């Protein structure tokens, strides 16, 4: 079985088309077309581009696209290698987000505490005995063992 590159070149030459004409029809650069015709697929940008170039080339030369792609797939059978699992950046981002969330909650608590200290009313932090006493009310002090106040009306 002939290679896909030779197959494409033969079909192009049978239609009496130059590489420049195919390049204009497909908008594929001439060096990329030459790489396709010489089976240097590894020198092309990537698998998606190679397949796209092959589809465009097949249409320009009048070949069935499915047949060209099937020939390419048959010629490029590569054993698939299972990639080594690597720690994904998504896991790192989730850990970082968790840390940011904890820091945000702590800052919110500290901000609330500072705000409550700053906005605390000042008149209410006096003891109850001093804050409720007025000069017009008599001063009453209770002494253990005595029922009557010291400065009250009843001195018995």
Dihedral sign for Cα atoms in the order 34, 40, 45, 47: positive
Q: Residue 66 is part of a domain; what is its CATH number?
A: 1.10.260.40
The verdict on residue 57 lying in a domain is yes
More confident residue, 151 or 74: 74
Closest CA to 44 of 17, 76, 20, 16: 76
Whether this prediction's pTM lies above 0.75 is answered by: no
Least confident stretch, 31-45, 48-62, 109-123, 132-146 = 132-146
- Number of structural domains found in the chain: 1
The verdict on residue 63 lying in a domain is yes
Separation between Cα atoms, residue 133 and residue 99, nearest integer Å: 52
Q: What is the pLDDT of residue 79?
A: 46
Average pLDDT, the chain: 78
- Segment 15-74, tens digit of pLDDT: 999 999 999 999 999 999 999 999 898 888 888 889 999 999 999 999 999 999 988 888
Q: Please report, for residues 8, 52, 53, 64, the alpha-carbon distance to residue 45 in angstroms, rounded to integers and kept in the order given.
A: 19, 11, 11, 24
Domain that holds residue 36: 4-75
Q: What is the pLDDT of residue 91?
A: 57
Least confident stretch, 33-42, 61-70, 87-96, 146-155 = 146-155
Region of 8 please: left (phi>0), alpha (psi -120 to 50) or beta: alpha
Tokens of 155: 């001195």
């Amino acid at each position: 079985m002939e290679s896909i590159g030779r197959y494409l070149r033969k079909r192009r030459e049978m239609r009496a088309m130059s590489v420049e004409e195919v390049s204009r029809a497909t908008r594929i650069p001439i060096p990329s077309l030459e790489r396709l015709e010489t089976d240097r697929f590894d020198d092309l940008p990537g698998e998606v581009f190679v397949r796209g170039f092959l589809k465009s080339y097949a249409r320009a030369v009048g070949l069935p696209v499915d047949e060209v792609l099937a020939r390419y797939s048959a010629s490029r059978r590569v054993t698939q290698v299972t990639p080594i699992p690597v720690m994904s950046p998504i896991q790192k981002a989730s850990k970082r987000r968790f840390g940011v969330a904890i820091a945000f909650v702590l800052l919110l608590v500290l901000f609330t505490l500072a705000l409550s200290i700053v906005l605390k009313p000042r008149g209410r932090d006096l003891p109850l005995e001093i804050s409720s006493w007025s000069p017009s009310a008599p001063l009453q002090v209770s002494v253990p063992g005595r029922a009557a106040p010291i400065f009250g009306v009843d001195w018995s």
